[in-house]
Structure 1
Amino acid sequence: MESGTLATIVFDTKGSGTSSLLLSNVVVSNVVVSNSSAVAVPISVVNGMVSIIGESAPSDGEMSNSGSGGGGSSGGSGATGEDFGNIEFKDVAEKNVRSGQAISYDFDSPGNPIVTVNFTAQKNSGAISTTIEVLKNTSALVKDAPNGLVYKNVNIWVGNAGFATPENIDLPAIGFRVNSSWMEMNGVDSSDIRLNRYSDNSWSTLETKVTEEGEEYVYFESLTPGFSPFAISAHPSDDISGSEIGPNGSSSTPDDLPDEKALAQNTLAISILSIFILAIRRSRIN
């Protein structure tokens, strides 16, 4: 018996919305496939979720469609615009969004560094999906890679195009985790980890705080002004923190600079000695 795809389902859409796709027969709750002798054979059934929206293209911070399942095939781009071949893993969660509620999307898949996407709902919006695309490399939607040592590149899309705006959501935040062994191997501390967001053709570093430190992972949280491509990266000592540029354009660290206290003491000693010498000269003249 050879493995393979038995059937592919194609359908015409009648309107926008999200619906689960569950396969079953009319007698029992599971699908049965039989051989030519009418004997049931073992199969694997993959259900899914289908999301149909308008034809508007993704705008900054939003998505135009969402899907389910793992990484895609090589070549081409998905509904979000990301290259199929660059998607390592995709995670989708759905919540019923009601005005005034604190909405939290939780993700626990081992391959997903994003653990929560949170915001406060400003309006009743119904069922809203959040999609995480974990990427193999820098997103195809950005021009340049972010600064620092990159741990993971991800795309985060909340709702349809035009949903993730201040009129609909407030205080959007992203919770994520970094493998402790990766940090140890690369010689970075939890204080070096930052979440970077790509928007308006440039990267910006978001304020990031540690929420929990465990043996396997360190957990972080960052507030974000919107949803788009992100990168989790390490910035040891903020790359140039504590350095100063000298008069010749060279960089010097605090260890290279003279000790201010010692300099002040030397200046005082020289001043006292000068006054003492001047006093002796005047006494000789008199």
Structure 2
Amino acid sequence: MKRTIVVTGAASGMGRATAEALASAGHRVIGVDLRNAEVVADLATPAGREAMVAQVTALAPDGVDSVIAVAGVSPPVPPPTVVAVNFFGAVATLELLRPLLLRSPAPCAVAVISTAALMDYDQALVDACLARDEAGALALAEGMPLMGNTYASSKNGLAQWLRKAAVSAEWGGSGILLNGVAPGSVLTAMTEQFFATEEGREMMAKVTPISLPGRFHADPAEVAEVIAFLATPAGRYLVGQIIYVDGGTEAIFRPDVI
């Protein structure tokens, strides 16, 4: 059945690939991004998030069937913005659009995490995110190095939030399937800077090792296939799962965790 699906970060990368895959399958896609989307909004700010909700509601007053929080940024974007978009923007997208999801007979929600969530992260920053202390979290991020662990911290916090929220009364208890996808190395505008140099490629191979021969990264469309699956009732018994689409990275890092 045709679904109405909101996709943030829809103008590029995995968000664009996901939007295109869903549209090709006949679904109505409401894209959200800073530009070149049906809804133009800045998810780094509370005002931008509220503007996103108002615009989506105007476009889909009868509700939406799926919400996919793809929008994310990484260094060299300033650390506070990384945290504001990746954690607070993603969580706000899902929570603020939840009332529209409740109007669907088969609601689904998906958040894009990252294998970076498994790497070194700052516990104080993650705690501030989970406490929903945005001002405090951004202040902590302000004092961190540009290429520090704010990205890993923001994605770790999002993963923890998702796991707990998915089985809560507000989500699973209300019939909304909330799951996540954790990509590993994916060639997008956000990561192409790393693949452009030998040093960058060596760094990516270290932080996102891949077990598949001859593979160095995924194409956004490969990740979009899994995201699109979770955005439909096809996975109607999946709740609170984070699916690693990473060429084996997560299994390499922690083979004993099941």
Question: Same fold by TM (over 0.5)?
Answer: no
Q: Which structure has the greater CA radius of gyration?
A: 1
- Shorter-chain TM range is under 0.3
Q: TM-score, normalised by structure 1?
A: 0.25
Q: TM-score, normalised by structure 2?
A: 0.26
Specify which structure has the higher proportion of helix.
2
Specify which structure has the higher proportion of strand.
1
